[in-house]
Amino acid sequence: MNIRTTTLALAVAGGLLATAPARADEALAKKHNCLACHQIDKKSVGPAYKEIAKKYKGQAGIEAKLADKVKKGGSGVWGPVPMAPNAAVSDADLKTLVAWILKM
C-alpha cells in the first residue's frame, strides 16, 4: 500500500527526530480520511501535500485560510475536482493537519 511506503519515505527523509510526530500527524490525517484523496508526494484526487506546501510556504495568515477551506470544502484552486467538506473535524485537529502539511 501507498501509505506504508510513504511513511517509510518520510521516516527516511525527515531523519529520526521528525519521525514520531510526523507519524502521529499522518495517523490523524488517516483518521479524518484526508488520505482517501491526498497523497504526500503524488497527485491523487486532491493535490499532493508537498505541492500544497510548496505553493503556500511562508505566506502570512495562510494556516487559518487553509483550515477554513478544508472545513468548508471547495474547488477551483487546483482544478475542477472539489474537496468534500470536512465539517466533523475539530478546529484543533485542522490546525495540526494544516501545520503538518505546510511543513513538508
Q: Which residues bind ligand HEC (CB under 6 A)?
A: 32-34, 36-38, 44-47, 52, 66, 69-70, 74-79, 81-84, 86, 89, 97-98, 101
32's contact among ligand HEC, other proteins, none, with CB below 5 to 8 A by partner kind, is ligand HEC
43's contact among ligand HEC, other proteins, none, with CB below 5 to 8 A by partner kind, is other proteins
Pairwise CA distance, residues 17 & 94, whole Å = 23
Q: Is 53 left (phi over 0), alpha (psi -120 to 50) or beta?
A: alpha
Q: Which is nearer to ligand HEC, 5 or 33 (CB)?
A: 33
Q: Which is nearer to other proteins, 13 or 81 (CB)?
A: 81
Identify the bridge partners of residue 74 per DSSP, sorted by sequence position: 83
Question: Binding residues for other proteins, per CB under 8 A?
Answer: 33, 36-37, 42-45, 79-85
Q: Which is nearer to other proteins, 21 or 79 (CB)?
A: 79
We find the least distance from the C-beta atom of residue 46 to other proteins, in angstroms, to be: 9
Pairwise CA distance, residues 86 & 101, whole Å = 16
Which SS3 state, helix, strand or coil, does residue 46 take?
coil
Pairwise CA distance, residues 21 & 82, whole Å = 29
3-state secondary structure 58-70: CCCCHHHHHHHHH
